[in-house]
Amino acid sequence: MALSKQETRDLYRKRARRYDHSVWIYRLFGFHIDKYRRLTVDALGLNRGDTVIDLGCGTGLNFPFLQRAVGNDGKIIGVDLTDAMLDVAKARAQSAEWRNVDLVQADVAKYEFPSGVAGVLSTLAITLVAEYETVIRNGAQALRGGGRLAVFDLKEPRDWPNGLIRLAAWMNKPFGVSLEIADLHPWESIRRYLKEIQYKEYYFGALYLSVGERPMD
């Protein structure tokens, strides 16, 4: 059963301080998350000086890749539900002396997007948002012409046996993931509101990267 907003906030408050270290177990299975974070950021086609919004930014693990893309003249807006996760993200930005990072504590389904941004992304977060359709619609509307929205996340693999799917769900349960991801198809929402320019599955169909672009006005 999917977690409520309060349950999600409580879960990630508990995990915040050790979150960055807790994902090491995935490397044992060949899942190198930094590689996919970089691929997602690269797919946005950002330039120096651009503004980008990181939805469900957590502890800011996407920030190094985003910073490289937009430079000191650009702007990174990190949005997350959980204050404790944002505290870690703030410390990360301060340690790196990134002065172009703005952090917003908000439910991404109710977040008021600024207009005319170059990119919007979400990595391993939209799965936890029941109202992902609203989030993607609002994110698409916030893009400037030629701007892109990218989602990298989990999905139910088509060809895995049920036992293996249940094992994967159990492994991800500490992060709030449940078998209900089978009913979540954010890539279809991206196709509804934007021109799809990329859809690719990874890790034998358990992960996907979906990228849409707003047509030039």
Q: What is the CATH number of the domain that holds 34?
A: 3.40.50.150
Encoded tokens for 33: 């998350």
Residue 145 included in any domain: yes
Q: Specify if 87 maps to a domain.
A: yes
Task: Specify the pLDDT at position 33.
Answer: 84
- The answer to whether position 45 is within a domain reads yes
Within a domain: 217? no
Cα–Cα distance, 69 to 18 (Å, whole number): 27
User: Above 80 in pLDDT, residue 21?
Assistant: no
DSSP state of 216: P
Give mean pLDDT, residues 101-109. Answer: 98
Q: Decide: 120 and 55 in contact? Cβ < 8 Å.
A: yes
**Confidence bin at 4 (pLDDT 50/70/90):** confident
- Specify if 91 maps to a domain: yes
Mean of the pLDDT values across residues 178-187? 70
What's the rounded Cα separation, in Å, for the pair 121 and 169?
23
Domain membership of residue 18 as a residue range: 5-212
Over residues 113-136, the pLDDT tens digits come to 999 999 999 999 998 898 999 999
How far apart CA 217 and CA 209 sit, in angstroms, is 25
Q: What is the pLDDT of residue 189?
A: 97
Q: How many CB atoms lie within 10 A of CB 30?
A: 7
Number of domains in the chain: 1
